[in-house]
Structures are given as structure tokens and as C-alpha cells.
Structure 1
Amino acid sequence: EMLKNSKEFYIKQKNKNWQMDTSLLELFGKTVGFIGTGTISKEAAKRLKGFDVNILGMNTDGRDVEYFDKCYSNDEIDEMLKISDIVVVAIPYTEKTHHLINKDRFDAMKDESYFINVARGSIVDEDDLIHALEIKKIRKAAIDVVEEEPLDEKSKLWDLDNIIITPHNSWISENKAIRTFDTIYENLKRFKNDEELKNKVNINRGY
């Protein structure tokens, strides 16, 4: 939606404004950098393969992960950001990832890059994100999470024209209950067949 300026087209439709936009971009040839290479990132990377996208990932030790053309370690995050046209945050929130994305990280990104956060709001310093959007260091952003939810009506984020905000809604679909059940079922089967894991659990329980 960001590369195709969908938000602007919705506004044009509301205003009954028939005006062509020749600034549209495409995914082909772009470099997408995922901060985190877990299930969400892997599924997204698998789908992006069909667009001939260069897919980068960042994880703890820079280990190779399926569907990623190259992976970087945590210490190499700026190296990955410098060459990414689109940056996607998809890591868990911990003490170590609190405000991981801050002014220094935004400064390391390419000028007019695109930024997406589908993880947790507190991974991103919100004031620094607002500043990066205001000066157009980040051309556009799409966020499904914020530091304090619901987003305060007085937040500057609401008034920026280069951001798409959704209310922590990206995980919802008609199949979410089925997928949740399938995941729990598969995990239970794996646990049943994993004697080493069961022994560890029993030890922790004092059995």
C-alpha cells in the first residue's frame, strides 16, 4: 500500500478526484530487511520471493535462515539498515529490544526508506519515529502497534500524512482460531515425542 500510494487514492476517491499518480513504485528489485527472522518474517519472506526481492534478515548470531538471501547478527544491524529499502520489525519485545529502533537506527537507514512495525510498539522510540517521518528521512511508515495502546488522540502520529496506522489488527483473520489450534496441536505432538524436553520439564517441576 505504501509503494502504491493507496492511502492517497482512498482520499481521492472520497473527494471524487480523478487524478493519475505517476510516482508509484514496485517491489521488484527492492531490498527488504527484516529485524527478526522468526515465523512471521519467514512467511513474509517466502511470499516476497515471487517479486524478485532481495531479502535480508537480522538475528542473534547472523545464522542462515530459509528464504533469506543474507542474514546479519545483532551487532551488524546498521550494516543491514544502510542497504534496505524497506525495514520490517518483527522481533519479540524484551529489555534488550526496548527502543532498539531509535534515532541512531533511523539515521543508519537509507534516505526515504519505508518502515513497518508489526511487533511491539516499545521496540521503537516513538518520538524518534515521528521526527524521522517529519523530516522525510522515512518516506512512509506502516505501524500496527504503538508504545501505549490505544494511541492517544493527541499523538502527532495521527496527523502525519506519510503513515498508515492500524489498531494492533494485523494478526486477525477468519482463520486465526484454526491456525492457533493447529499450532498448539503440533506443539503437543512434538512434546509427546520429545523425551529430552519432557525430562527437562519434569526436572523444573521437581519430579
Structure 2
Amino acid sequence: MDILVTVPLKEHIREDLAQTFPTVTFHYEEAEHEWLEKSEVLVTYGNDVTESVVDRAKNLKWLMVASAGVDNFPLEKIAERKWLVTNAKGIHKIPMAESMLAHILALSKGFPQIYDNERQKVWDRRVPQIEISGQKALILGPGTIGSEVGRLLQAFGVHTIGYNRSGKPSLNMDEMIQPDQLMDTLPKVDSVISILPSTPETRYLWQLEHFEAMKESAIFLNFGRGDFVKEEVVLEALHKKLVRHVVLDVFEKEPLREDSELWTMTNCTVSPHISSLSNQYIPRSIDIFKENLKRYLDEEKEYVNEVDILRGY
């Protein structure tokens, strides 16, 4: 069996795959390579899965995405081919949760101002210091990543509130709310963290009225998808100082254009979609792939992180 891998892998990982699966031939090429037409499995980050690639992959049966999102794929075309699609959901939880917690702590302890004062050699002991212990955090999308940031926040004494459509309990959430409870909850929380995927239900879900309902002292963080809130809505909220600070790791269009006002807003932190990056990213992805490849070769029917391609997750 031939497998085309477009994800850059270090030599020791390639050797491990070859030794673990001696009956499989791995090809490390770009998606447009001729091996695409002969391969049964494609392992990719996903940014090279175009309509042309789908059309040419005549023998493909399984698409392994070494990331979580599939919203930019030609979904209907892939669904027509009835491929098995799996992803690396769950591998981002540790780096992303650490990043979110780091931003919340940094802003609460005045680190941006402390660092700026250091560069300017300013001795100023009036930098505001806020404790997060006893605060409330609303986590939009308390899944794998949300439950991990919930765990970390709880360790700091933060009361965690999870938001999903069903209201069903989620790990490391002190309480759960549903959409009809959102507006009543916003005035009570000190931080709002969005980790929601991009779906028809979540696209541009967040409006100015949501910022208006929040405390002026609250922090808003978007680490899910850039189309959760329009840039113009964020800018209006920042200009009106509806919240204390906004942290964005994702944007409507990436990279963020150079003339965007977000770069210069002192109450906004621009993070270039790096919260999920980690030195453990590839090893964790490959571990999931290896487990699924064993099941695939054994002709099992249940896989880790199987994706409903039309739902997007």
C-alpha cells in the first residue's frame, strides 16, 4: 500500500514509520506529485487539499489531517468520494491552554507595561496587579482544549463556566450554560475565551451587543476561528473600551494585513495564530496516525478522531 505524506517529517520519524509498518510504502512529496494518483492514504496539514487534488486522488480512501480544522477544504467534493477523514484533534490542548492562561496572567499582572517600563528604564511601582483567584471565566466551546484551559484556570481558583448548545456537563467546568443563557451570563464573568470551530452556527456569532454586555474590566480572547467575530466589531469594542483587553490568535483573513488598526491598539494583543505550535506537535500527530493506520490495516471500523466532513468536525 502506498501512502503520500506532505507533512515535513524528521528522518527518525520516517525511519520509525518504515520499521513499524514494513508492508507500507511511504512517499514524502508534495500533494501535486504523481504519487497522489496511486496512493491510498494522504497525510497532510490540509492547506494543500484543493479541488484539483481531490479530483486527481483516484485511489485515495483515507485523508489524515495533521491538524484539527477542515473548514477550508472542498467539503462537498470530499463527501462525494466517501473518504475516511481523520484529524489530529486533541494535540493542541496543552500548548493552546498554556497560551491562553499565559495571556490572562500577563494582563492581570501588568506584564506588558512592566516589559515596556524595563525597555525605557522606568521605575514605576504603580503597575496594576489583579488576582485571578475568585474570578469567573466563560469558555465558549468546552471540548478537549476548553476542558484543559478549564483545568488550569481552576488550579488558580477561577470559577469556570462552559458554553455549548446542549448544556451537557463538560470536564473541568464548574457550571454549564446554553445559548439562551449567554447574555445573562456575560455581565458576571471576568474573561471570555472562544475556542469554537468555524461552523454555520458559529460564524460571526459574536456581535457588538455581546461586548456591550461584558464588564468593562473583562478580557476577551479568541483562539478558535477568525470568523467568529468581524474585525470591525472588535475595533468598535476597543474604541469604545467596552472591555479591558482583547487577545486575538485568529483573524478573519490571515496574515493580518499591515494596515489593520489592531496592530496599534494598546488594548489589543495580536498573536499570529501560533498558540497551537509546540515542539510536541508532530510527535503527537504521528502517534494518532500510527494508531489509526494499525486499525486501517486490520480493517477495523472505528478510528481515533474520525471527522464528519460536512459538519466540519
TM range (shorter): 0.7 to 0.9
* Alpha-carbon separation, structure 1, partners of 2:144 and 2:110: 28
Deviations 1:10-55 (A, max 9, x none): 2112112121234111210000000111111111111112111100
Q: Is residue 2:100 matched to residue 1:30?
A: no
Contact 1:112 1:136 in 2 (8 A): no
Question: In the alignment, which residue of structure 1 is the partner of 2:223?
Answer: 118
Q: Which residue of 2 aligns with 1:170?
A: 275
Change in CA separation of 1:43 and 1:192 when aligned onto 2, cut-off 3 Å: farther
TM-score between the two structures when normalised by the length of structure 1: 0.87
Are 1:56 and 1:80, in contact at CA under 8 Å, matched by a contact in 2?
no
Q: Is the 8 A contact 2:226 2:253 kept in 1?
A: yes
1:64-79 matched pairs, under 5 angstroms: 64-79=169-184
Aligned match of 2:151: 46
Could you say what the CA RMSD is over the residues aligned between the two structures, in angstroms? 2.3
Match of 1:143 among 248, 259, 280: 248
**Cα distance, 1:131 vs. partner?**
1.4
Q: How many residues align?
A: 199
Counterpart residue number, 1:204? none
SS of match in other structure, 1:2: helix
- Asked if structure 1 preserves the Cα contact closer than 8 Å seen for 2:143 and 2:170, the reply is no
Match of 1:88 among 190, 193, 197: 193
CA shift, 1:125, in A, is 1.9
Provide the C-alpha distance between the structure 2 equivalents of 1:194 and 1:67, rounded to a whole number of angstroms: 36
**Equivalent residue letter for 1:143:** L
Please say if residues 84 and 113 of structure 1, whose CA atoms lie closer than 8 Å, have aligned partners that are also in contact.
yes
- Aligned partner of 1:180 in structure 2 is 285
Q: C-alpha separation between the residues in 1 aligned to 2:117 and 2:204?
A: 36
1:90-122 deviations in whole A, cap 9, x for unaligned? 010112111111112112222221011111111
Q: Note closer, same or farther for the CA distance 1:185–1:105 as it changes in structure 2 (3 Å cut).
A: farther
**What is the CA-CA distance between 1:159 and the residue it aligns to?**
1.3
Cα deviation for residue 75 of structure 1 reads: 2.7
Which letter maps to 1:149?
E
Q: Specify the code of the residue in structure 1 equivalent to 2:175.
A: K
Deviations 1:159-191 (A, max 9, x none): 110111110000111111122223344556788
**3-state SS of 1:56 partner:** strand
Query: Structure 2-normalised TM-score?
Result: 0.59
CA distance in structure 2 between the aligned counterparts of 1:191 and 1:31, rounded to whole angstroms? 44
Larger radius of gyration: 2
Once the two structures are TM-superposed, the CA of residue 194 in structure 1 deviates from its matched residue by: 11
